[in-house]
Amino acid sequence: MTDTVSFRAPRNQWWDVWDQFKTHKGALVGSVVFIAILLFCFVGPTLWPYDATYIDIRSRNQGFSLAHPFGTDQLGRDIFARMMKGGQVSLAVGVVAMVLSVFIGTAIGVMAGYFRRIDGLLMRMTDLFLALPLLPLLLVMSMLFRQPLSSAFGVETGMFLLIVVAIAITSWMRTARVVRGDVLALKEREYVLAGRSIGTPPRRLILRHILPNVLSPVMVSATLMLATAIITESALSFLGMGFPPDFPTWGRLVADGVDYLQQYPSRSMLPGVFISLVVLSVNYIGDGLRDALDPRIRGR
C-alpha cells in the first residue's frame, strides 16, 4: 500500500509582496488616501449636480455651505466641482507623464547596461540632461510649442501633449541610472551567461530575463515619478504656462486664488492641500513597494 503524498501548489510571490506591503502602515494609509482622492476626482463629478464651468454671478464669492462645500469663486463657479475637474487633469497628466518617463528611462538604462558600446554615449547624454535647469527648460518648451500644438490638436489636447512630453523628457534620467546599475549586475549572473553561451539573441535575453528582474526598482521609480509629474504640472499652471485659465487644474486653481488670498485664503489652500496629499500618499506607497519588492526584507 503506497502512501499518497499531497503536494501543495507553490504560493504566488505576489502574495508575499502583499504580506510585506501590509506591514508598512504609512503605505496602507497612503493607499487609502490616494484611492479616496481618485474616487473624489473621477466618480464625484457623476454624482455632483454642479458643472465646473457653470457661471452664476449671483452666487459669486460665497463661503462654505451645504450647497457649495468649498464655496464659489469670483464668477460664481462651484469650487468643489472645479477641484474634482482639476484633479482629473492633474492626475491624468501625472500618470501619462510617469508612464512615458519610466518607459524612456527603462529603455535607455537597459541598453546602456547591456550593450557596452553605447554605454558611454547614453550615460553622457543622461549627464547632459541632468545638468540642464529643468524649470527654465520647461518654460522655454511651453513658449515655443504652445501655439503650434494648440493649432494642430486644439488648445486643451495640445497643451496636454506638450506638458506630458515636456515632463517626460526632462525626468527620465534617474530611472535610467537605477536600471543601468541593476542591468550591469544582472548580465553577469549565471543564467544570463548560460543563455549567451548557447547563442540566445540579446533581445530575447533582455525581454525574458533582464526586464523581469528590474521590475522592482522600475515600479518604485514610477510611484515617485508620478508625484514629481503632478508637482511639475502644478508649477507650470501656477506660472501661467500650463492649461488655459478656463481649464481648471490644481495648479491653476492655486494661481487663481492668489489674488484673493487675503479675503478667501481657502481658494489657494484647498488645491495645495490636495496636491500635498497626493504627493505624500504616493511617496509612502513607493516606500512600501520598495520594501515589499526587496526579497531580503520580504524573507525576514
Domain boundaries defined on the chain: 93-294
Contacts of 173 (CB under 8 A, 6+ apart): 105, 126, 129, 130
pLDDT at 7 over 60: no
Q: Which three cell numbers stand for residue 180?
A: 543601468
Q: What is the DSSP letter of 209?
A: I
Could you tell me the pLDDT band of residue 31, with boundaries at 50, 70 and 90?
A: very high
The most confident of the ranges 104-108, 208-212, 244-248, 252-256 is: 104-108
The most confident of the ranges 57-66, 89-98, 217-226 is: 89-98
Nearest C-alpha neighbor of 215 from the set 188, 175, 184, 187: 175
Q: What is the DSSP letter of 243?
A: S
Helix 25-42 / helix 266-293 crossing angle, nearest 10 deg: 130
Q: Which three cell numbers stand for residue 299?
A: 524573507
Could you tell me the pLDDT band of residue 288, with boundaries at 50, 70 and 90?
A: confident
pLDDT value of position 59? 85
Could you tell me the pLDDT band of residue 10, with boundaries at 50, 70 and 90?
A: low
pLDDT at 2 over 50: no
Q: What is the CATH number of domain 93-294?
A: 1.10.3720.10
The arithmetic mean of pLDDT across residues 242-252, rounded, is 80
pLDDT at 230 over 90: no
Over residues 175-218, the pLDDT tens digits come to 999 899 888 888 888 888 888 888 888 888 888 888 888 887 88
- At 255, which helix (H) or strand (E)? helix 250-258
Confidence (pTM): 0.82
